[in-house]
Amino acid sequence: MYLHLGNQVIVLQKSVIGVFDMDTATWSHRTRETLEKLEQAGQVENAAGTELPKSFVLCSLGSGQIGYLSQLNTATLYKRSKASGLENL
């Protein structure tokens, strides 16, 4: 199954590690550090397009990780994942 993150970006559901709200994600030192490391490594993709990102989706990618900035809020992504069974993975 797949999860649509917006702007024609789709990821495998089983690759999703976590979904974080951009307003609160930067408060946590670990989340902020992870996002910064991914940005420095060029492993952050903008799925928000020209809109302000509302969430950050962390996914596994082979032996590494990749982050997606999405214009969809965490509640919307949760509803999409729940509809397709992501919470059971």
pLDDT tens for 20-63 read 999 887 788 888 898 999 999 999 999 999 999 999 999 998 88
78 closest CA partner among 38, 21, 37: 21
* 87: confidence class by pLDDT, cuts 50, 70, 90: low
Q: What is the pLDDT of residue 43?
A: 96
Residue 78 CB-density burial (10 A; 0-12 exposed, 13-18 middle, 19+ buried): middle
User: Structure pTM?
Assistant: 0.86
